[in-house]
Structure 1
Amino acid sequence: MALLGDLGLTLGKWAGRPSARVQKDSGDPAVGRVREAAEAADWATVREVLEARPESENRVELLWAVGDTAGVERWIARVLEAEPEAPLPRLVAGIRHISWGWEARTGARASQVSREQFEVFHTRLRTAEKWLYEAAEREPQWTSPWYGLQVSGRGLQVGQDTARRRFEATVRRDPHHLEAHQQQLQQLCDKWGGSHEEMHAFARESAFKAPAGTLLGQLVAVAHIEEWLSLDSGPDAAYMRRPEVGASLREAADHSFRHPDFVRRGGWNQVLNTFAMAFSLAGDRTSAQECFRATEGRVTEFPWYYLDGSDPAAAYRKQRSSGGR
């Protein structure tokens, strides 16, 4: 749910280049292992994989692999009874209840979600918050509980002040936590009660205060895509073609994936896919093709589902073939 890019589809060859396929995960073998263990209700293996991954090394992806697995809510309840003081089962239960909550809500517009669906959604998110707070109390240095509370808080509409405090709690523990920054950027979007000005200011401050070569440059590209999404057809294209937007994207790229210190780890491929889409919409063919080549046909669901919700790889192929025109 919260990790973007989880369709796992394989699509055909395109113009002799690597096949464009939606990437199921980062390619980390631990992700597949922990997902299989979660499907099998194998808590011993789930715990082994999670405990082997430090919080500082993107344990979030592994947690969502478990949390997005159907049925975890049943067997994790037995683990919680058996290990009443352990923080890790509480963290897993919290993440699962967030994902399970969004399953009830669905991705439909709020006007198309029934009152009963919203009640289930909010009940599951409140349960998630209980488990996440208990995990945070037991392991004060862990980042993941606070990141999870950012996600649940947006669904529960806790407000900008509370959302900011949860974000700050996460980044005190991990200053360059990509997913935490992504969540806070969403919180500052106009559609969630923020504004374009707040969103862009946050994206730039986060990207350029971070050391060169981090993944946080993606935030600048995401902010421009979010403003593009908010506009009607016509004004949206005009916005992306503004010279200052292109310059902003290039500046962020130079500070991020173009920098010699950039390391392909964690969400690096989603960062490149995001810049590929943003540069394509901005009409910067050279920069777009640079990003497409670097992805080697590996498509992340985000952000391409904004262009084609049913087939993100088709949107990727279309933009790649057009050269960002």
Structure 2
Amino acid sequence: MPLFRRRSGGEGEQDRAGRRGFGFGLGRRGAGSAAPAGGGEPRLDQSYGDESARLALRQALAGDWAELRPLLAAADNDQLSFLIGVMSEVPRVEQWTSRALADTPDDTLLLLLSGARHVQWGWEARTGGWAKDVTEERWKLFHKRLDIAEEQLLEVAEREPSWHAPWSFLQRSALGASLGPEVAACRFEAAVRRAPGIVGPYRTRLQQLSAKWGGSHEEMHEFARATMLAAPEGSQLGELVALAHLEHWLALPEGEDGAYLTSPAVVAGLQEAAFRSVLHPDFIPVRGWQRSFNAFAMAFSLADQPKTARLLFDALDNCVTDAPWHYLAGDPVRSFRVHRDRCASYRR
């Protein structure tokens, strides 16, 4: 316990969205529901089986804005946030968006994509290690990129006040730039007001309240549980309880961490959260459902609850999300496989 030593990190370690970031779940399996267990190897799919995301990723990699723009223009508010989150992970998007903006500075969709990419690009410069291990050069690059993101995303928010996406990315920017608790709270409220059921802003808020970002375990757990109880049964927001316990586990010394997650109180809390949210009959898979299932699967496996973990692994059908498996040492796919196989050996 745990299977694999954890990666070093703590203060400022990223919960990297979608593939590597705060809170941008990447899609659903078509329009579908949780799939039954099947054969094959675990896989990390940035599109999460979503055809529009696959297309957007191809176009973003090719720098084909002429083809990509109509896809974004036709998206509703939630899908736009989802697609922008997917593409913010694509290397070199910042290069072709900067060139395109020089020609069409009034294109708000282009400005949104550029701002989102600069947030992610900034975090890539900072890395996910301890603050003391980040070089001065990387700090400067981190803040330079976040400054560009702030300017661009605030402009988008002013032009399109109903859009959720700029506020979600501005949350992450505020966290990295240490803009303070008032700004963090305001941006969280702005994001939630525009998209009340989207889990991404809540994940970022949980990070802001965690001990490693200047909050406390108590504040973090209180937020997670209160959010879960305020949401309807079957809401994805119950995932926050699992994430809070994983954050607490991550902060503890080896030995104390396993004892914490296997304690009766924590196991009971995880069970309550899972069966109130992702394992509730009213749960409807939406974009990002795989990330919630991965979070609960990892938490239950580490808590030595293979029976419940197996329900989640079976539903995932080998679909791996980088978060929260990146909290364990080594490749997330390998970590997923080892924990899945361990739980698969459980006999009902």
TM-score (normalised: structure 1): 0.91
Q: Aligned partner of 1:200: which letter?
A: H
* Residues 189-204 of structure 1: pairs in structure 2 closer than 5 A: 189-204=210-225
Partner residue in 1 for 2:63: 41
CA distance in 2, matches of 1:97, 1:122: 10
Structure 1 range deviating more: 73-82 or 195-204 = 73-82
CA contact (8 A) 1:67 1:96 kept: yes
CA contact (8 A) 1:146 1:167 kept: yes
Q: What's the secondary structure of 1:175's corresponding residue?
A: coil
Q: Aligned partner of 1:71: which letter?
A: R
CA distance in 2, matches of 1:17, 1:92: 37
Match of 2:266 among 240, 245, 251: 245
Structure 1 range deviating more: 27-36 or 17-26 = 17-26
CA distance in 1, matches of 2:333, 2:229: 31
Matched, 1:60 2:74: no
Identity of aligned residues (%): 43
Structure 1 range deviating more: 294-303 or 66-75 = 66-75
CA contact (8 A) 2:164 2:195 kept: yes
Higher helix share: 1
* Residues 147-296 of structure 1: pairs in structure 2 closer than 5 A: 147-296=168-317
Q: What's the secondary structure of 2:327's corresponding residue?
A: coil
Report how many aligned residue pairs link the two structures: 314
CA distance in 1, matches of 2:242, 2:323: 12
Per-residue CA distance 1:260-289 (angstroms, 9 max, x = gap): 221222111111111111111212221111
Per-residue CA distance 1:118-159 (angstroms, 9 max, x = gap): 111101101100000000000001010100100111110111
CA distance in 2, matches of 1:304, 1:228: 13
Q: Aligned partner of 1:203: which letter?
A: A
Match of 1:316 among 330, 336, 343: 336
- The offset of 1:321, in angstroms, is 2.5
- The offset of 1:225, in angstroms, is 0.5
CA distance in 1, matches of 2:321, 2:82: 14
Per-residue CA distance 1:86-112 (angstroms, 9 max, x = gap): 321221111111122122222332222
Structure 1 pair 314–84 and aligned structure 2 pair: CA distance change class (3 A): closer
Q: Which of 1 and 2 has higher RCO (CA within 8 Å, sep 6+)?
A: 2
Match of 1:110 among 131, 135, 151: 131
CA distance in 2, matches of 1:66, 1:5: 10
CA contact (8 A) 1:55 1:143 kept: yes
**5+ long unaligned stretches in structure 1:** 7-15
CA distance in 2, matches of 1:85, 1:157: 29
Matched, 1:134 2:134: no
- The offset of 1:17, in angstroms, is 4.2
CA contact (8 A) 1:150 1:180 kept: yes
Q: Aligned partner of 1:322: which letter?
A: R
CA distance in 2, matches of 1:193, 1:253: 28
**5+ long unaligned stretches in structure 2:** 1-13, 21-37
CA contact (8 A) 2:18 2:86 kept: no
- The offset of 1:212, in angstroms, is 1.6
Matched, 1:31 2:45: no
Matched, 1:3 2:14: no
